[in-house]
Amino acid sequence: MQSRLRLSTKCNAAGKTQLEDYFASPPFKVLTLPNYQAYWPQGLNAIQMSSSPGLLGGDELDIEIRLAQHTALSLTTQAFTRVQSMHPDQYAVQHTRITMAPHSRLFYLPHPLVLHKDSALQQTTEIRMGAGCRLIYGEISIIGRVLMNGERFAFRDFNSLLKLYREDKLLLSDRIRWQPASMDLTALIQMENYSHQGSLIYFAIDKSAAEIRALQSALQQQLSTSGDILFGLSQLNEEGLMLRAVAHRADELQELFAQASAYLKSLPD
């Protein structure tokens, strides 16, 4: 299966964000929603949907998102993405490219990715931001169907690369490479006894290091957790923050990221 999703935004005469161009091939579909949120009141809310039961060997997914100046998009997904079992020589591949024109805003937090037994996934995500952009982007990965016997770290390969740029300057490169057959992923500073891990990244282009440091302190005070979850909040080298967390359940990470995202969305420019 080779699937494509293309969407771009524009501002209407009232300054509200709308879809400009949109194309999706099966199993993709995008559903726009009424904007009842107090945050980004002129923004567009949408759900990225899929009719597929998951990613299979040989699947190639290509996603491209373009935001026009002064538009705001909040994009979520319909359900967990499951990478299904496949033959030893097969992979699923997903490429995502996001371009943000100056002073645009994007919130993009897909549902968790579940790596089934004997699965392999290669994914790349590239995000380019212009002046004054605001980005909240998250990923959650699960090391298998952990309630089933023999499914912990039973996938074959997970190779994920995320790169974020301010125009052509690289601000962040984050790679996750898991190969359970050749790595002890339960070792110290790896996943240890946890089964779910996630990252939430925030960029406020043109903010100073001092402003980001103050935001880090304020956000730290906003976050509260329940259950056995471990997280850390770090200031990036330039203009951003990263929240990294591990847990035993997806809902624990989703709740933590929801708290952080709500606070970050509410911030004035």
Per-residue pLDDT at 34: 82
Q: Please provide the size of the chain in residues.
A: 269
Is 140 buried (19+), middle (13-18) or exposed (0-12) by CB count in 10 A?
buried
Per-residue pLDDT at 10: 97
The sheet carrying 17-24 orders its strands as 17-24, 2-11, 60-67, 92-100, 120-129, 157-166, 169-178
- DSSP, collapsed to helix, strand or coil, labels residue 33 as strand
Percent with pLDDT over 70 in the chain: 99
Q: Is residue 238 part of a domain?
A: no
Q: Is residue 44 part of a domain?
A: yes
Q: Is residue 51 part of a domain?
A: yes
- DSSP, collapsed to helix, strand or coil, labels residue 252 as helix
Residue (of 98, 81, 175) closest to 135 by Cα position: 98
Q: Is residue 215 part of a domain?
A: no
Residues 6+ apart with CB under 8 A from 104: 9, 67, 68, 69, 70, 71, 72, 73, 130, 133, 134
Q: How many domains does the chain have?
A: 1
For residue 244, give both structure tokens.
């990294």
pLDDT digits (tens, 9 = 90+) for 177-234: 999 999 999 998 889 999 999 999 999 999 999 999 999 999 999 998 877 899 999 9
Q: Is residue 50 part of a domain?
A: yes
pLDDT digits (tens, 9 = 90+) for 57-113: 999 999 999 999 999 999 999 999 999 999 999 999 999 999 999 999 999 999 999
Q: Is residue 210 part of a domain?
A: no
Q: Is residue 184 part of a domain?
A: yes
pLDDT digits (tens, 9 = 90+) for 42-57: 999 999 998 888 899 9
Given a cut of 70, is residue 37 above it in pLDDT? no
Q: What is the rounded average pLDDT for all residues in the chain?
A: 93
> What single-letter amino acid sits at 172?
L
Residue numbers of the domain that contains 157: 2-205
Rg (alpha carbons) of the chain, rounded to whole number: 18
- DSSP, collapsed to helix, strand or coil, labels residue 5 as strand
Q: Is residue 104 part of a domain?
A: yes
